[in-house]
């Protein structure tokens, strides 16, 4: 091959090299776009997970609310058990003691024995309120 033929071939191959360079640049820029899209997608996913874990149905705020409700119910249960125990003791006393039955009949039901006169004394506060 002559020098002239080689030079012509080289000149013809220059546009092909430029096309290859351009396509390599496009691939790099597409790779950069994919990387940016993946980064943005990951950030949005993390934000969504964070918001869901704080404000969601099973999030931290809901958990804190349920914990407070649970503690309030536990306190109420303790109070109800104490009242239940007190009432059980009162029932046992009423079953075993006639004096306890008489006391309840007089104080709570306002009953009296035959021939007794019952005097009802009102508090000063009740008269003022009426």
pLDDT in tens, 66-113: 999 999 999 999 999 999 999 999 999 999 999 999 888 888 888 888
Domain assignment present for residue 91? The answer is: yes
Pair (127, 71) in one structural domain: yes
pLDDT band (50, 70, 90) for residue 6: low
Please compute the mean of the pLDDT values over residues 19-35 and round it to a whole number.
66
Q: Decide: pTM greater than 0.75.
A: no
Pair (78, 33) in one structural domain: no
What is the reported pLDDT for 18? 56
Residue with tokens 């109070």: 79
What is the reported pLDDT for 11? 55
* DSSP per position, 29-65: HHHHHHHHHHHHHHHHHHHHHHHHHHHSTTSHHHHHH
CA distances from 54 to 42, 44, 49, 63, 66 (A): 18, 15, 9, 9, 14
Pair (72, 45) in one structural domain: no
- Helix, strand, or coil (residue 26): helix
Q: Which of 55, 76, 101 marks a domain boundary? A: 55
Does residue 42 register a pLDDT over 90? yes
Q: Looking at the 3D structure of the chain, how many domains does it have?
A: 2
Pair (7, 48) in one structural domain: yes
Pair (129, 74) in one structural domain: yes
What percent of the chain shows pLDDT beyond 70?
Answer: 72
Does residue 38 register a pLDDT over 60? yes
Does residue 127 register a pLDDT over 80? no
Provide the residue range defining the domain that includes 116.
Answer: 67-130
pLDDT band (50, 70, 90) for residue 47: very high
Pair (98, 42) in one structural domain: no
Does residue 56 register a pLDDT over 80? yes
């Amino acid at each position: 091959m002559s020098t002239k033929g080689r030079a012509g071939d080289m000149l013809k191959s220059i546009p092909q090299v430029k096309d290859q360079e351009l396509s390599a640049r496009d691939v790099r820029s597409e790779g950069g776009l994919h990387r940016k899209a993946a980064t943005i997608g990951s950030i949005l996913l993390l934000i969504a997970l964070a918001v869901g874990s704080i404000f969601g149905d099973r999030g931290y705020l809901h958990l804190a609310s349920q914990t407070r409700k649970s503690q309030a119910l536990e306190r109420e249960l303790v109070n109800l058990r104490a009242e239940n125990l007190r009432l059980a003791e009162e029932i046992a006393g009423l079953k075993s003691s006639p004096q306890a039955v008489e006391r309840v009949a007089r104080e709570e039901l306002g009953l009296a024995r035959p021939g007794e006169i019952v005097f009802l004394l009102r508090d000063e506060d009740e008269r003022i309120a009426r």
